[in-house]
Amino acid sequence: MKNPYIPYRVNIIDAWYEAPGERCIKTFKVTFADEKVWDAWSHKPGNCAMVGIPGVGESMFCISSSPTEKGYLRFSIMKAGKNTSALHELEAGDSFFIRGPLGNSFPLDEWKGKNIVTIGGGIGQAPLRPVIQWVRDNRADYGELELIYGARTSEDHCFKAEFEEIGKSGDCECHLSIDVEEEKWPHFVGFVPSLLMEVAPKPENTIAVTCGPPVMINFVLKNLEELGFTPDQVYTTLENRMKCGIGKCGRCNVGHLYVCKDGPVFSYAQLKEIPEAFA
């Protein structure tokens, strides 16, 4: 019987800050220490892992790299508590431990032939990054790709360099925003739900995927409905406190669903039936 509580060691091959400040965001590029684990590993966009350091603890994060990016995994982590602060101390050459892949994934096979629009806010872009990368790496399978992303300031944007490259590639239209005016900021100023209305993606044959702070998601869902998106065209991820990651410890349930096991990916159609989903 495989023991799902035993984590695998991963070695950090690169680490960099995405955003500075008190709640800074750091991305870790890692490889498994054990070759056999690599051989048995497979994940899909949206899958998560418990990430931690024995002696400190574990927290659940979405894997921020697509399975089409071979040879490494990425995690983009905001410093928020004890475990994430300890992780932020680590650099290339250090190790931490992960358990996974956990949770469900975005139904990208079902979305084939459709346009995809992602709507992210702050660190909420991390679960969307593998979706964007997957679509770019399987370009012929999907229609248009549009990216809407905002953060408090231009410094708080994750994956800045990638967005520049994506924007230039012609693969995808990038719409960026910051909450408050800054000198020389060439893009939108305002909150993400407003940027969404400005971009106004058309709902025909389109899937909208949104991740970000709960308050942003609430307004984005409302605005998507206003734009004509039906609940089954809209997907999001939920977060909750988790410990086991495998639907046993009981803590992350929203209604009868466990975020760790049945999520983190849910369609808005599913969540509309669950009153606790946006508590």
Report the interface residues with other proteins, using CB under 8 A. Answer: 1-7, 9, 33, 54-59, 80-81, 84, 95, 214, 239-241, 243-244, 246-256, 261, 275-276, 279
Task: Give, for 169, the enclosing helix (H) or strand (E).
Answer: helix 160-169
Angular region, 61: left φ>0, alpha ψ -120 to 50, beta rest? beta
DSSP, collapsed to helix, strand or coil, labels residue 221 as helix
Nearer Cβ to other proteins, position 3 or 109? 3
Cα separation, 41 vs 247, in Å, equals 21
Reading the block at residue 38, the tokens are: 């690599």
Cα separation, 258 vs 252, in Å, equals 6
Nearer Cβ to other proteins, position 121 or 203? 121
Phi, psi of 103 (to 5 degrees): 80, 180
CB of 118 to other proteins, least distance (A): 22
Nearer Cβ to other proteins, position 101 or 203? 101
Please choose, from the candidates 209, 242, 239, 205, the residue with its C-alpha nearest in 3D space to the C-alpha of residue 224.
209
Cα separation, 128 vs 51, in Å, equals 19
CB of 58 to other proteins, least distance (A): 7
CB of 173 to other proteins, least distance (A): 31
Nearer Cβ to other proteins, position 228 or 275? 275
CB of 163 to other proteins, least distance (A): 25
CB of 222 to other proteins, least distance (A): 20
* Inter-CA distances, 192 with 13, 52, 180, 224, Å: 33, 31, 12, 12
CB of 205 to other proteins, least distance (A): 33
Nearer Cβ to other proteins, position 165 or 273? 273
Nearer Cβ to other proteins, position 56 or 189? 56
CB of 204 to other proteins, least distance (A): 34
Nearer Cβ to other proteins, position 134 or 258? 258
What is the pairing mode between strands 234-237 and 206-211? parallel
Cα separation, 130 vs 156, in Å, equals 19
Q: Which residues contact 35 (CB under 8 A, 6 or more apart)?
A: none
